[in-house]
Amino acid sequence: MNFDSRKFVVLTLFVLVGVIYSVRLFYMQIIDESWTLRAQEIAEKRKFITPPRGIVYDRFGQKIVTNKTYYNLMMVEDNIKNLDTNALAKLLGWTPQQVKDRFREIKEGEGSYFNKSTGKRTSNYQSIRPYAFVKELTIDEMTTIAPHLENFPGFYEEITSMRSYPYATAANILGYVTEVNQEEVDADAFYRSGDNIGRTGIERFYEKDLRGRKGVHYIVTSALNNAIEPYANGKYDTIARQGPALKLGVDIELQAYGEKLMQNKRGCIVAIEPKTGEILTMVSAPTFDPNLFVGKRNISINYPKLYKDSSLPLFPRPLQAEYPPGSVFKLLQSLIALQEGAITEETGFPCTKSIIGCHNHPMATDLRKAVQYSCNPYFYYTTRKIIQKGRKKGIYADAEAGLNVWAKYMESFGLGKKFETDITGLRGGLIPNSKYYDKWYGNHRWAFSTIYSISIGQGEVKVTPLHMANIAATIANKGWYITPHFVKSIGGKGPYPEYQKVHKTMVDRAHFIPIIEGMRRVVNEAGGTGSRARMKDIIVCGKTGTVQNPQGEDHSVFIAFAPMDNPKIAIAVYVENAGWGGSWAAPIARLMIEKYLKRKVTDPVKEKTIMDANLMNVKKKADKYTTRGR
């Protein structure tokens, strides 16, 4: 017998077995992720603790978004023993088939992943994990179910929370939350199936602030999946932390009041604090109660109804409705003309109705009176002097150069672009430049005579109501603005830095003085088109506008700020199909201003007239050009 040969064979076998085990162990631990995950599942169980979302307050400390306690009926499939499907169905008020369908729905809802080791897709569903069998149960519903859960091993109750809106207003500002989809789960490790996420409005923009930080509780489990003890005595557990509170610049009582004024009307109200850019109110009418979108069940019932509503309550008019600005635009034409030296404060023009239609008024012998009377021909001549200023030879080249200068001025007021603010879904409106008209007419084939309707805020010019409110704030500040925004402070730390930055226009401060005087006269002097916004003890500066509407009666528009010497509120009001600007928009603005500054209204008759008015079905078209420009 060759002892040395046998020794060599044995050693070789030992080495070979060791290599095989080492390779297999390396594959299981490093290459095949499923074994690592499985080992983790066997050794410990992680329970994620989701904190309540951050509370939202208005500018005066009123809670406007809170959390309300609800319950989920949870289940762990591996713990379910001898389930009586009929009994469970009866307890829940379901049919036995609905119970079976719910089990299948949970499994299918978890999706699947590609398993590298098997080359097949594997379900993400794990029978040892808890899943919500029934969500969003009220305390009354859970009180009915809970006493019977001992008859259904594997089922248990879990406390959760959902949003609540005490004031039942500001739906277009606050937005709503709903369950995450698989794409969102894959994109952010914070989320797991069944979690909620901000879907629109403030809830969406400040999602990462409001959602807080999840906690994790580790528990060591046995082979039978029974909890033994906290893992490492809780050394690695983390505490769930609620998201910081948001304090908005919104005055929730003013918001609710504005929604009452705009009931049975289409349009919007936007009010801003000029010095800070904080949005005080943003009414979109018609509106809806944000509590209709609390929870998946409510959303599934109410969203289709609101979506199909012909009055478009889901359409955020202040942010997405792009209207011609109408005569409100004359304020900007005046400022640009003064800065360019095209006119002076004392310049006068005849009211030549053969050039462009106008209402009857005294002669506008200077700029202040032109603003006061809202004279269309005056601003036709004024804008022509801006655009056809003789910068270049030839009428077409001159118009091209002049329009581009004009467009840059308009852009310095924040027009023609989206505000980068703390709410989603904005539109930028339109300020046409030479490239825009070249596409329509061809290069050097148009002049001011082709595009003169922009002089009175008609034609191709488009703005959102948010833009118009910001124009009022910019004039109140005599040439500067801070981007309009909602959140005043995040957890007491103030707003984001970009909402503290001052934006200056291209117009010198001195040129705003005569325009503001003209706006004072609009409201407070005879012949002014906005007399219905007048107040006895507060000087309101405003400007009416009448926006042409080919589909029906014109839109009533009014912007204003007050008080004149120390502006605290700037406002824009749009009422669709309501006629000239002084008819409805001006008195609504007056009531809103008084409500904000005085916290009360002193003219209950006017208030009742506005609240009782129903302008939803007004379609009649004015027969003559009698109110344009007002």
What is the per-residue pLDDT across 530-569, written as a single tens digit (0 to 9) for each? 999 999 999 999 999 887 776 778 889 999 999 999 999 9
CA triple 615-618-623, angle to 5 deg: 135
Residue 395 exposed, middle or buried by CB count within 10 Å (0-12, 13-18, 19+)? middle
In the chain the domains, ranked by start, together with CATH numbers, are 46-174+213-246 (3.90.1310.10), 252-301+316-612 (3.40.710.10)
pLDDT confidence tier of residue 19, bands split at 50, 70 and 90: low
Best mean pLDDT range from 148-157, 182-191, 420-429, 466-475 = 466-475
pLDDT number for residue 596: 97
Q: Tokens 């082709």 correspond to what residue?
A: 450
Q: What is the pLDDT of residues 295-349, one digit of tens each?
A: 988 999 999 999 999 999 999 999 999 999 999 999 999 999 999 999 999 999 9
Q: Is the pLDDT of residue 227 over 90?
A: no
Answer yes or no: are the C-beta atoms of 542 and 231 closer than 8 Å: no
pLDDT band at 505 (very low <50, low <70, confident <90, very high): very high
Structure tokens at 554: 């014109």
The stretch 413-435 carries a mean pLDDT of 93
- Asked whether the predicted pLDDT for residue 623 surpasses 60, the reply is no
CB 359 within 8 A of CB 627: yes
What are the residues whose beta carbons fall under 8 Å from the beta carbon of 521, sequence distance 6 or more?
368, 369, 371, 372, 527, 528
Three-class secondary structure of residue 270 per DSSP: strand
Residues 349-360 have pLDDT tens digits of 998 888 888 888
Whether the full predicted model's pTM is greater than 0.75, yes or no, is yes
Whole-angstrom Cα distance, residue 630 to residue 628? 6
Per DSSP, helices labelled H in 74-200 are 85-92, 96-109, 139-145, 171-174, 182-187
Average the pLDDT over each of 6-20, 481-495, 602-616 and give the range with the smallest value.
6-20
According to DSSP, residue 213 is labeled B
Q: Quick check: 26 pLDDT over 70? A: no
Q: Are residues 59 and 251 in contact, defined by beta-carbon separation less than 8 angstroms? A: yes
H/E element, 405: helix 395-412
Average pLDDT, the chain: 88
